[in-house]
Amino acid sequence: MHYLNVLQSTGAYQIQGYPFPAIRLASLYLYYAEALNEVHGPNADTFHWIDLVRDRAGIPSVEESWTSGFAKNVGKHTSKEGFREIIHQERLIEMALEGTRYWDLKRWKKAETVINQPVRGWDVSQQETALYYQPTLLFNQTFKKRDYFWPLRESALIINTNLVQNPGW
């Protein structure tokens, strides 16, 4: 990736290379932990990859966190479904504000329940502080089952008559 850098002393333009990460190592670790959990269930290898992400953030290991007295559901990490929820939560936290949540929700087939909730925010039209911070409905968004797939172009359907349009489109 290149960006334009203006040198302040001379006013000249200089292009400098900037390494922009296409994918983070933590993301790969979480993908791998998710895949291992789906194939083998929770085990030492699965815990290892998610613990690498947690260790970098200074958080105790999954086993330590979910066997302590602070966990609401002690032992959640021992079942495949429970560990799946832990991985999903870890991924939502680690990848926050990086543009992956929408695609994760689609992959996990949770988009219909999560995205269909109303979007709420602060009432920015208010002048007083107390009224400004009152939650208000901004808009209602919809996500239907058909939105898991994109529609095929009509020209592609005309060219290849063996193609069938995705459901709902």
CATH numeric code, 25-108: 1.25.40.900
φ and ψ at residue 137, rounded to 5 degrees: -75, 120
pLDDT-derived band at 119 (thresholds 50, 70, 90) equals very high
Q: What is the pLDDT of residues 4-14, one digit of tens each?
A: 555 556 666 66
Separation CA 115–CA 144 (nearest Å): 9
pLDDT at 139: 93
* DSSP assignment letter at 76: G
Of 69-83, 96-110, 125-139, the least confident: 69-83
Query: Do 101 and 95 touch, CB atoms closer than 8 A?
Result: yes
Nearest to 91 by CA among 137, 33, 147, 143: 33
Q: pLDDT grade, residue 28 (50/70/90)? A: very high
Of the two residues 104 and 68, the one the predictor is more confident about is: 104
CA distance 96 to 109: 19
42-56, 64-78, 124-138, 140-154: segment of lowest average pLDDT: 64-78
pLDDT of 21 reads: 74
3-state SS of 74-106 is CCHHHCHHHHHHHHHHHHHHHCCCCCCHHHHHH
Q: Could you tell me which residue, 70 or 100, shows the higher pLDDT?
A: 100
Instruction: Give the pTM.
Output: 0.77
Contacts of 29 (CB under 8 A, 6+ apart): 49, 50, 52, 53
Checking DSSP bridges between strand 2-6 and strand 119-122, what pairing results, if any?
Answer: unpaired
- CA distances 127 to 43, 132, 137, Å, are 55, 7, 18
Strands in 7-73 per DSSP E = 13-17
| 164, two tokens | 């069938």
Span 84-112, pLDDT tens digits:
999 999 999 999 999 999 999 999 999 99
CA distance 76 to 69: 13
Domain with CATH 1.25.40.900 in the chain: 25-108
Q: What is the mean pLDDT of residues 142-161?
A: 95
Question: Does residue 63 contact residue 42 with C-beta atoms inside 8 Å?
Answer: no
Rounded CA-CA distance 64/77 in Å is: 10
Confidence of residue 73 (pLDDT cuts 50, 70, 90): confident
